[in-house]
Amino acid sequence: MEAKVIKEKNPGFDFSKAERKTVLLCTNGFQNADIHDSTAMHEYFEKNFAKDFPNCEIVPVQLFLPSEPKTHHAHLYERILEQKIEEYEKQDVDIVLMGYSFSAALAAKIQSRHPKIRKLILVAPVYDTIVNNMIAGYIQYVLKFRRLTKKYGPAIAKAMGRETTRGMIGLLLSILRSVLSCRGSYRKVTCDTLLIHGEDDELSTMHSIKKIRSCGKERTLLYVYPGMNHGILKNARDNGIVFEDILSFAFGTPHLLSAEVQPMIERKEKVALDEDGNPIPTFQEIFAELDPDYERERKEDQGAV
């Protein structure tokens, strides 16, 4: 079955083959198992492109170990990524940074401090915490997790691909803290950025995508994948075209898979009226009432234009 993708018109990004040594640093999202989220993409690159792109390398950056609670702290995620960037800055290489899920905001923050990062890739970036039910979802997850742990004991850890189930609640809280403390950095990004969005993603909503784009001062390119959700990096069989789009942006690799590419059309929203003929508040207007920072951020964005 042919994959589908909706792509914006390329605003002049460089998709040529990387001639210099180039490294793609990939951060992880919220992981249950001790396997990095970019593992499938790394294996896909090694199998299909590594031979013809010997000067390109994918490096998974593990921000925390799910089974080790002492690593579950937002300030440690930032320190680990900062140190990895500094390590490659000392080498004569081009750096491309990819953030996935909650760590997309962290990637934006680190890129703003390191202009040597040539390109930024944000996969399923999380911005909202209220309108996407992230907080409620975390609470439900924790309650369900507690029930399963009580019922099945150590067996639940093995089923999740982990060594232990200790520290899950603290991990969820640290991830939430990281999103809230780093998301303001989207407006500080200083390089070309590729946004990857699954149309059925409930955590990285289109509202999140629009908020991130309104913050950005640099060029962005948006790819939307119908039928794909937040697990957009999980396996090559279903999401191989996503891997190829990311690798093409990072290294200039060719596309081996075919995809039905559709142009992105700007849709004008119709104004809905109530029985008295008054406009019904939009989703964004309702969100403005929920998010105390919304109006301030909107004015700052307008002032920066």
State the pairing for strand pair 94-100/22-27.
Answer: parallel
- Whether residue 82 sits in one domain with residue 119: yes
Q: Please report, rounded to a whole number, the percentage of residues in the chain having pLDDT higher than 90.
A: 52
**Nearest CA among 85, 280, 104, 109 for reference residue 203:** 104
Report the C-alpha gap between 207 and 126 in whole angstroms: 10
Q: How confident is the model over 152-194, as pLDDT tens digits?
A: 666 655 555 444 455 677 888 888 889 989 999 999 999 999 9
Residue 26 parent element (H or E): strand 22-27
Cα distance between residue 79 and residue 81, in whole Å: 6
Mean pLDDT within 93-112:
96
Most confident region among 36-45, 140-149, 291-300 by mean pLDDT: 36-45
Co-location of 147 and 97 in the same domain: yes
Tell me, yes or no, whether 80 and 214 share the same domain: yes
Apex 197 CA angle, 86 and 43, nearest 5 = 60
Task: Measure the CA–CA gap between 5 and 44, rounded to whole angstroms.
Answer: 19
Q: With 90 as the cut, is the pLDDT of residue 221 above it?
A: yes
Do 230 and 156 lie in one domain? The reply is yes
Give 269's pLDDT tier (boundaries 50, 70, 90).
very low
pLDDT band at 206 (very low <50, low <70, confident <90, very high): confident
Q: Is the pLDDT of residue 278 over 80?
A: no
Both 146 and 281 in one domain: the answer is no
Q: Kindly indicate the confidence band of residue 130, based on its pLDDT and cuts at 50, 70 and 90.
A: low
Report the number of distinct structural domains present in the chain: 2
- Contact yes or no for 11/221 (Cβ under 8 A): yes
Q: In what order do the strands lie in the sheet with 192-198?
A: 56-61, 22-27, 94-100, 117-123, 192-198, 220-225, 3-7, 259-263
For CA atoms 252, 97, 7, 198, the dihedral sign is positive
The reply to whether 232 and 278 lie within a common domain is: no
Question: Using CA atoms, how far apart are residues 28 and 222, in angstroms rounded to an integer?
Answer: 20
- Pairwise pLDDT comparison (244 vs 286), residue with the higher score: 244
Asked whether residue 257 falls in the same domain as residue 280, the answer is no
Q: Are residues 278 and 225 in the same domain?
A: no
Range of lowest pLDDT (97-111, 130-144, 279-293): 279-293
Strand partners, 279: 273
- Buried (b) or exposed (e) across 5-17, using 16+ Cβ within 10 A? bbbeeeeeeeeee
Pick from 89, 121, 84, 116: which is nearest to 103 by CA? 121
- Which residues have a Cβ under 8 Å from the Cβ of 76 and sit 6 or more positions away? 63, 64
Q: Is residue 241 predicted with pLDDT exceeding 60? A: yes
Give residue-wise pLDDT tens across range 39-53. 999 999 999 999 999
Same domain, 250 and 279: no
Do residue 162 and residue 280 come from a single domain?
A: no
Q: Do residues 286 and 141 both lie within one domain?
A: no
Query: 3-state DSSP helix/strand/coil percent for the chain, to nearest 5?
Result: 45, 15, 40
Question: Can you give the residue range of the structural domain that contains 284?
Answer: 273-305
pLDDT the model gives residue 283: 45
CATH number at residue 225: 3.40.50.1820
pTM, 2 dp: 0.80
